[in-house]
Structure formats: structure tokens, C-alpha cells
Amino acid sequence: MTTVVDDILQRVFDACRGESSGAVADYIPELAEVSPDGFGISLATSDGYLYEIGDTRTPFTIQSISKPFTYGLALADNGEDAVARKIDIEPSGEPFNEISLDPVTERPRNPMINAGAITSASLIHGQTAEERFERIRQSYSLYAGRQLEFNDAVYRSEAKTGNRNRAIGYMLRSFDIVENDPDAAVDLYFRQCSIDVTAADLAMMAATMANNGVNPRTGLRALSPVLVERVLSVMTTCGMYDGAGDWVAKVGLPAKSGVGGGVLAVLPGQMGIAVYSPRLDSHGNSVRGVAACRRLSRKLELHFLHVPRASASAVRGRYTVAEAPSRKRRSEIEQDALARFGHRARVYELHGDLLFSGAETAVREIGTLDEDLDALVLDVRGVDDVSDIARSMFDDLSTQLGKKGCHAAFVDPRGVLGHATSSIDPNDPGGRVFADLGSGVRWAEERVLDRYCVGPRQPMAISAGEHPVFAGLTPEQYARASAVTEIRHYARGETIVHAGDHAAGLFLVLIGEVSSTYEAPGGFRHRISTLSPGMSFGEMPLLAGTTFLLDFCADTDLTVAVISVADFESLTVDAPEVKLGLLSNLASGAYMQMNIAIKSLGQFGIGR
Ligand code: GLN
């Protein structure tokens, strides 16, 4: 299947194919031997997919495209400061082979011109010349994801004719920028320039930089993210030599060219591009390489300063617990309190990557609410990545809110905000982390009810006699019912009935809480509703003959009173008036729950 990307590559390829200006480099005799018409374009995504067209498997020497990679290795070997004392990072505006140093700092102006590159080579660690070269070759191979080979013929050719670079080496030695044998540094540089690559290799090397220094196919790290950033910065300002300004304006990607005919460009976080075409312009940049990069950048909108839209808010949803209550069944008094004061507990659902601007808009919105809050729930399940600055902004927000008496909790099963998840502990008012939204909303409701619910709260424990299902029974009828009632205890986490089970009896919750849940395909357990003392379950399979649709699991240590299926049946004959009492209590309880459910739909504007 050809994709839009393939089509665009084809069109860019066709548009540039006819361009035959420029000339192959001939100051290195061996380079003059290559076919001038070779042309290939590769694009590697930062997850390692490769698009290719044309001569993307033709080997050619990497030449100056080696410079950023050796600079990266020099940084890793010596540290940024030590390297900075040897090589500046200012654009030179001079040809790549200029024999000059910055007149003020007396250092090479940047690592992308030969003076800087030879200095980088002189900084590579290793006991012997072979070891130093081998470390360079291995480093490039890590970026490419395969073993790259050395081209001896091109190396010899350059070594024979490279007197200008030797002049640069000796100049560097005389200024003590190169501190050891300048011939050795220049020789190492010639060798690194003579490593063979293809356009496909270069695209993967670029994609490795785009992927923060890890080759997306092998998963192996070639360079640390901090150093990748540093190398890309220098490529942005200095990668295309004296054509750098024009390049940034028209292409807008950190890039590097080489006289072997390659151009490599990186869009951080997204992709790497490489073009091979050996005819060079007066700067020593591939003519069709530059032309193809310009077109690709425009068509694929790759310019790194191109902003399609201002960054969107990280807030995906915002609501109060009055608008979207938890699925915990509540008494009417509690329902009323939540309807009246639920606006003081809010849920914010955040999504996307939380970088500075997304976090800033969210934190500002929450921090400047007119309303004072008692509870805030931040649901970050939809958040992918969180930057350190965003994390500290949210920490600060919860501290600030805490001072005003508002407790903040996070729904953060993956711990993206860096807090540990904690289990449900109704006594702990602040700094909570929940694995699911329902638990977070319930927690927020409890905060509101603690403050504003005047009147009896749903108790945490009742005796069997207090259970509403027995309401209105005479003492004799109750005695008859309780004779068939068995008290059972379950440990927290225990499953009482499983989805698919047949009628298992009528379960009356006396102490603790139990939730109906189901396990999603990924293994995550979703909570459908939570029952507390005074509520019951199991009546549907019992009365309607269906199987259980959900699992019922004890959230806390749990005590229930159970009337078995057989006992419930036998009441029909043995004590019909008792059964009638139980059934009418069950029916009115069911209608009350339905009423509450309808009311909560009304809060979403449904059913009005
Ligand atoms: N080896 C070449 C040189 O130093 C590399 C130059 C380049 O690719 N721009 O002359």
C-alpha cells in the first residue's frame, strides 16, 4: 500500500530529479569517481519506520556528517564544560575548511567546521589510535542500528591530499587547542569521514537523534538526551556552514551535510530525513539534497518553528460532584446535601502531554476559581507525559489549596505525577491518590458530606434488625425472617459472587462496603456501584431468574446477612406475610434507587 508519505516522497523525488547543477567533490580524488546522478531520499520516523525512494542503499562516505556524532562522543567522554573550553558553538559564516580560529577566544568557532571537528576527534578517549577509531565507528553504528564499515580507498585518498586539514591541525596544536599529536587528530578525523553509510543509514541515525538518542529499532542508546539537545542546537546554527541562515529560514531543521553527497536533517521527537545526491553547491552542500529537504519541509510541515495552533489546554473535562456523582448509593439526606453543596468539590480531567503551557492553563484555571473548594480531584489517567515543571506546578497548586482548606486528590493509576497510589482509607483527608475515578469522586463527596450533611449519614455498621429490608415487620415476622438469615463475613478484597453465577440468595449489607465490578479485557477492574450498610444485592437473580451480571467484591472487611434461595422460596408457603413484607421493601428500595439515578441524569440535562 502506498501512503500519503510515499506519494509526497515520490513527488519531491520527481521534482528534484532533473536538477543537475553543481559538481561532485574532486579535491578528494576518490570522491570524483562516484556516479554524479545517484539520488535517494529516506525518511525514518522516531519509532523506526523507514520510507525510501531512489538510491537509498548506495554506500557513500559520511564525510562531514560525521562531525555532530563525534562531537557528541567527545561531549560524552569529556563533559560539556571541558569541550566548551576547546570548541565554541557560534556560527562561523565561513567555509567549512577555513584555516581560522575565533580571534577573541582563539578557539574553533564551532564543531561543524573542520577546525572544530578535528578538535572533537582529538578529544576522543582511547589508548591507541585504533581504539579511538573503533569507539567512533561503534558509536556511529549505534545510531545507525547496524555495523558501519570503513572505506579504506576514500581514507587513503584524503590522507594523501588533505594538507589543508593538516594545516588546520597544526594551527590547533600551536594554540594548544589540540594538546597532543595533531597528525593523529587529523588522521582520526580522516578516518571518521571515511565511514560508509547509505541514505537509509543516515535517516536512521537522524531518527535516533529525533528519538532522544535511542535507536528506535534496536532500543540501544547512542547518546544521552541532554547531549542530543546540545548537538542538535549546534547543528541548527552551524550545520550547513555559510548556508546556515538560509537553511534555517527555508527548511528549519537541525541538519548536517557532507561532501560525499549526504544531507541529514532531524525533526526532534518526530523523524529523521536523509538525502543522497553527490553534486555539491558552492558551500559543499548537496544541491538536490538541499532542494529535496526544502520541499519535504514545506509539504510535510516540518519547519521546527511552524506552529499549526497554539498549544491546547490540558483540561478535557471539568465538573462538580453534584453534576456527576459517584456510583455510591446514598441515602436521601446525603443526596440532598450533595445536590446543594456538590459544587464545592470538582473534578478536572486532564489529557495529553503536561508540559509547561498545558499545566499552566490548567493550574491557573483551578487556582483562580471564584468558588472556594473543599475537594479537588485531578484525573490524570489521560495524561501521557509530565514534565518536571508541570509536576511541581501541580504540587504547588495542591499545597496552595491545602492552605485554604481544600484537599486535592489524584486519579493516577500509573503514578505519572510521581505520587504513590494509596488504598481507600476514609480517615485520611488529604493528598490522596486513587486508581480509579469512582473512588476519587466518592472521596470528594465524603469531604462535602463531612462538612455539609446535617442529619444521619449512611452508617458504616447496622445490626440485622436495622436493615430496611425488614422494616415494618412485626416482631414475630422478624423472628421468622431472622431464623432463615445467616450472618457471613468476608475479608477485604474477597469476591462474594462472580458474574455469570446463578441466584445465590439475598445479600443484606450490615458492616462495610461492597462494590459491583467487572474486569475489562486489559485486566483493569471497573467499579459500577458501591453498596454500604442498609443496601442489598442478589435480588435480581433471585427474583428475575437471571445470572449475576457483575462480580461483587468486598471493598472492606464485610458482614452481610444472607437469606438462601431455598429459604426465600420456602417463605412463600411457610410465611407468606413475611415474604410479602420483604418483597415490598425490596421494591420500594429499588424504586428509590431508580429515582436517584433519574435525578442524576437530570443533572446532565438528560430527561429534563
Ligand atoms: N573530509 C572532508 C574534509 O575535511 C569533509 C568535508 C565535508 O564533508 N564538508 O574536507
CA distances from 195 to 136, 218, 284 (A): 10, 20, 18
pLDDT at 306 over 70: yes
Report the range of poorest mean pLDDT among 164-168, 413-417, 418-422, 464-468: 418-422
In angstroms, how far is CA 465 from the centroid of its own chain?
Answer: 54
581-585 average pLDDT score: 94
Q: Is 101 exposed, middle or buried (0-12, 13-18, 19+ CB in 10 A)?
A: buried
pLDDT digits (tens, 9 = 90+) for 449-464: 999 988 777 778 899 9
217-243 average pLDDT score: 92
Residues in the chain: 608
Q: Is 449 left (phi over 0), alpha (psi -120 to 50) or beta?
A: alpha
H or E element that contains 177: none
189-202 average pLDDT score: 98
Helix and strand counts by DSSP (H, E) for the chain:
20, 20
Q: Is 496 exposed, middle or buried (0-12, 13-18, 19+ CB in 10 A)?
A: buried
Q: Which of 346, 348, 188, 214 is nearest to 269 (CA)?
A: 214
Direct distance between the N- and C-terminal alpha carbons of the chain, in angstroms, rounded to an integer: 51
Centroid of ligand 1 to alpha carbon of 137 (angstroms) = 17
How sure is the predictor about 435, in pLDDT bands with cuts at 50, 70 and 90? confident
What pLDDT score does 589 carry? Answer: 82
- 241 known ligand binder: yes
385-409 average pLDDT score: 89
What pLDDT score does 283 carry? Answer: 87
What pLDDT score does 350 carry? Answer: 94
Centroid of ligand 1 to alpha carbon of 305 (angstroms) = 29
pLDDT at 128 over 50: yes
Out of 1.10.3470.10, 2.40.10.10, 2.60.120.10, 3.40.50.300, the CATH code matching 464-603 is 2.60.120.10
- 98 known ligand binder: no
How sure is the predictor about 239, in pLDDT bands with cuts at 50, 70 and 90? confident
pLDDT digits (tens, 9 = 90+) for 469-514: 999 999 999 999 999 999 999 999 999 999 999 999 999 999 999 9
Q: For a pocket test of ligand 1, which of 154, 163, 259 has the largest count of ligand atoms closer than 8 A to its C-beta?
A: 259
pLDDT digits (tens, 9 = 90+) for 251-302: 999 999 999 999 999 999 999 999 999 999 988 999 999 999 999 999 999 9
DSSP character for 178? S
Place of cell 556560527: 91
Pair 449, 472: CB distance under 8 Å: no
Distance between CA atoms of residues 204 and 507, nearest Å = 62
List, in sequence order, every residue forming a beta bridge with 495; answer none if it has no partner: 553
- Grid coordinates of 192: 571518521
Centroid of ligand 1 to alpha carbon of 282 (angstroms) = 13
How sure is the predictor about 308, in pLDDT bands with cuts at 50, 70 and 90? low
Residues 418-445 as b or e (16 or more Cβ within 10 Å = b): ebeeeebeeeeeeebbbbbbbbbbbbbb
Centroid of ligand 1 to alpha carbon of 492 (angstroms) = 71
CB-based contacts of 483, cutoff 8 Å, min separation 6: none
Domain ranges of the chain: 4-300, 315-452, 464-603
559-581 average pLDDT score: 94
Q: Which fold has domain 315-452?
A: Transcription Regulator spoIIAA (3.30.750)
How sure is the predictor about 335, in pLDDT bands with cuts at 50, 70 and 90? confident
Distance between CA atoms of residues 448 and 326, nearest Å = 13
Count of other CB atoms within 10 angstroms of residue 181: 13
Pair 510, 527: CB distance under 8 Å: no
pLDDT digits (tens, 9 = 90+) for 54-85: 999 999 999 999 999 999 999 999 999 999 99
- Atom 2 of ligand 1 has which residue's CA nearest to it? 63
Closest ligand 1 atom, residue 162 Cα = 10
Distance between CA atoms of residues 21 and 280, nearest Å = 8
- 263 known ligand binder: no
- Grid coordinates of 205: 541515525
- Give the number of C-alpha atoms closer than 13 A to the C-alpha of residue 427, restricted to the C-beta side: 1
Pair 436, 517: CB distance under 8 Å: no
pTM for this entry: 0.72
Distance between CA atoms of residues 172 and 179, nearest Å = 8
CATH of region 4-300: 3.40.710.10
What pLDDT score does 413 carry? Answer: 83
What sign does the dihedral 58-59-60-64 (CA atoms) show? positive
- 110 known ligand binder: no
- 114 known ligand binder: yes
How sure is the predictor about 564, in pLDDT bands with cuts at 50, 70 and 90? very high
Report the range of poorest mean pLDDT among 172-186, 316-330, 571-585: 316-330
- Give the number of C-alpha atoms closer than 13 A to the C-alpha of residue 285, restricted to the C-beta side: 27
Pair 352, 383: CB distance under 8 Å: yes
- Grid coordinates of 539: 435480588
Closest ligand 1 atom, residue 258 Cα = 8
What pLDDT score does 602 carry? Answer: 54
- 189 known ligand binder: yes
What pLDDT score does 427 carry? Answer: 46
Centroid of ligand 1 to alpha carbon of 467 (angstroms) = 88
Q: What is the average pLDDT value for the chain, to the nearest integer?
A: 90
CB-based contacts of 356, cutoff 8 Å, min separation 6: 387, 389, 390
pLDDT at 423 over 70: no
In angstroms, how far is CA 246 from the centroid of its own chain?
Answer: 34
**Ligand 1 proximal residues by C-beta, below 6 Å:** 63-64, 96-97, 114, 158, 165, 193, 258-259, 284
- Atom 10 of ligand 1 has which residue's CA nearest to it? 97
CB-based contacts of 569, cutoff 8 Å, min separation 6: none
Distance between CA atoms of residues 271 and 158, nearest Å = 32
What pLDDT score does 467 carry? Answer: 92
| Same fold flag, 4-300 and 464-603 | no
Pair 194, 135: CB distance under 8 Å: no
Centroid of ligand 1 to alpha carbon of 64 (angstroms) = 5
CA distances from 68 to 10, 120, 273 (A): 29, 9, 15
Pair 148, 193: CB distance under 8 Å: no
pLDDT at 603 over 60: no
- Atom 4 of ligand 1 has which residue's CA nearest to it? 114
Q: Is 598 exposed, middle or buried (0-12, 13-18, 19+ CB in 10 A)?
A: exposed
Centroid of ligand 1 to alpha carbon of 158 (angstroms) = 9
